[in-house]
Structure 1
């Protein structure tokens, strides 16, 4: 997971001030909702995502269970569909083209041109990582094979007879592409929740409210032995509960991997039971997982971060989620309601600024 290094550039900021108790009870600020990006839903394909760019390593035996026979033949066995199949080759409709196997974004319509070859043709890919290439010497010809940068599925071939400004022609199999016209948005999101704790919940809540794809964030408590504990009880450190946030996110716009990357960017996961001046088990770095998938995603990321980013070992605990208890109302949206207070200016604001710098392309549009 080398891409993590681009996200987790430096060790997270250390907290200098304690998370003070407040009785300033104010109404929660309403979170604005925004239109979703173009997305495609394929419930039969658990690897399909229009937002996740993490490399896949799925065996063909697994793909064969998921993909249609025609798509499997082209994507996994490098077959070629007949020219002039369907209308995609000559379509000039504005929109976005995705890998039909894994959902990876490949082309925009303004990178497309109508070619006489009979297959969808493009002169440029969306990013240098979206498509990879290798020599193809099959059938007594010397060609350059184009494969999806995420799932390594066969897309077509690259030739040097395209139009300016690149002079390239990405000759693609239409069956390897999914197309979504501009202006089409999903009518309902595919929502999931995750519960995490990284010190004072005011800080964590304020950061995630700015991540695109997050529907809501609530401060609360999880873990421990006391049912529905109060802030005062948790603050003693004797309940075993941690200050946490419950994040509800749209899986068509963000994913668990990104949620966790933000988490490890904006707090220090290498200090046991403390964040800066906030000390105690209630401030421990913790991920409360609901299922084995959440646990594995967290374990894999922690392993990569220990190897590539942090010099001190990550001490974040992975604990099964029993129940999330929402905190008192005056804790909800605390930063939005108290921006001028010293703790917000000195502790929370720097975390938000770091998040906005590292994840500048993933901010909600205001």
Structure 2
């Protein structure tokens, strides 16, 4: 580890970032809870989890804030989509079907059959708790409504005209289902996420988006005592939240050592609660670790750097990860979407050029 660190120590001073100014567009203040690690990523929906089976009890108003309008109409208002919508009703691709509202596993593809009704049809559910039922006497008919066992979202109806061995037909709205092919699920096992704060997230995001092995970078907030704080609330410095990036990376292409190497290269970890002109706990240097591996790797590199490089002590805090709240869309991919803005040209672009020069062998290939 020591030799690995020393190879880039001499380059650190040229990468210490000045903090960035932000604009003042108001952010959504939806109250959110933490979502667990997902096969499917839905940062806009914090209740979504492919692993958590804990019952969700939310108001329709809360669901309306996090679901797309068409999904909300079906899931929360029992609307029905048009038959033969899309290809899901006849697809025989191997994989798993999840509730599109909350992420609960509902069906496997080997429980599916192609019916003539025009909606995805299944003869058996994943387990006895994945789908629950209630009587539906709407429209002058008696039917059995099928609902998600975790969030009570409307999925469709259950009929007694299915194939053996059950004789059942779970007639589902395609929009109520998320589908993940088996190959994608297998690839997901190579992915890991970590949340880092190094001052302005525009700068940190722009750098990590260029690193080979990083599959996604999302700007947002973490830490503190306020659920889903708005940008304005974070700027007051009273929420305890920090500007952060959530980095998803492929462990077969990069690793924690490299992620941290870049992190301590692109910001100044010796200035307490500030980066350049931006002052406050929201700009603190912080690593939100999700497990002991991340914590120990961070402790190791900090110890090495304190001994070998900095005259000032590294003040980067290590905090257990609790929740990540995505920033508004205009904060995402800010550099890519605003290259002609003065801040991008004068602040972010020079840092990227230096980063690309030093890490030239680790940059994503341009297509």
What TM-score range do you get, normalising by the shorter chain?
Answer: 0.5 to 0.7
Residue 244 of structure 1 aligns to a residue whose secondary structure is: strand
Q: Distance in 1 between matches of 2:264 and 2:18?
A: 18
- Kindly indicate whether structure 1 or structure 2 has the higher relative contact order, using CA contacts under 8 Å at least 6 residues apart: 1
Question: Could you tell me the TM-score, scaled by structure 1's length?
Answer: 0.54
Q: Distance in 2 between matches of 1:274 and 1:197?
A: 11
Change (3 A) 1:297 1:12: farther
Change (3 A) 1:16 1:266: closer
Q: Which residue of 2 aligns with 1:316?
A: 316
Q: Distance in 1 between matches of 2:21 and 2:354?
A: 19
5+ unaligned residues in a row in structure 2: which ranges? 28-185
Q: Which residue of 1 aligns with 2:243?
A: 243
**2:12 is matched with which residue: 10, 13, 24?**
10
Question: Could you tell me the TM-score, scaled by structure 2's length?
Answer: 0.54
Write the deviation string for residues 103-135 of structure 1: whole angstroms up to 9, x where unpaired.
xxxxxxxxxxxxxxxxxxxxxxxxxxxxxxxxx
Change (3 A) 1:12 1:323: farther
Residue 15 of structure 2 aligns to a residue whose secondary structure is: coil
Write the deviation string for residues 212-232 of structure 1: whole angstroms up to 9, x where unpaired.
000000000000010001111
Residue 259 of structure 1 aligns to a residue whose secondary structure is: helix
Q: Distance in 1 between matches of 2:240 and 2:187?
A: 41
Write the deviation string for residues 73-129 of structure 1: whole angstroms up to 9, x where unpaired.
xxxxxxxxxxxxxxxxxxxxxxxxxxxxxxxxxxxxxxxxxxxxxxxxxxxxxxxxx
Q: Which residue of 2 aligns with 1:216?
A: 216
Q: Distance in 1 between matches of 2:315 and 2:230?
A: 26
Task: Assess if the C-alpha contact under 8 Å between 1:12 and 1:264 holds in 2.
Answer: no
Q: Which residue of 1 aligns with 2:175?
A: none
Write the deviation string for residues 177-221 of structure 1: whole angstroms up to 9, x where unpaired.
xxxxxxxxx966600000000000111100000000000000000
Change (3 A) 1:358 1:18: same
Task: Assess if the C-alpha contact under 8 Å between 1:17 and 1:343 holds in 2.
Answer: no
Write the deviation string for residues 247-294 of structure 1: whole angstroms up to 9, x where unpaired.
000000000110000000011101111111111100000000011110
Q: Which residue of 1 aligns with 2:232?
A: 232
Q: Distance in 2 between matches of 1:233 and 1:340?
A: 28
Q: Which residue of 2 aligns with 1:332?
A: 332
Change (3 A) 1:338 1:236: same
Per-residue deviation, 1:299: 0.3
Q: Which residue of 1 aligns with 2:353?
A: 353
Q: Which residue of 2 aligns with 1:152?
A: none
Q: Distance in 1 between matches of 2:305 and 2:270?
A: 11
Q: Which residue of 2 aligns with 1:20?
A: 22
Per-residue deviation, 1:20: 2.0
- Aligned structure 1 segments of 4 or more residues deviating by more than 6 angstroms: 186-189
Residue 247 of structure 2 aligns to a residue whose secondary structure is: strand
RMSD: 1.9
Change (3 A) 1:15 1:253: closer
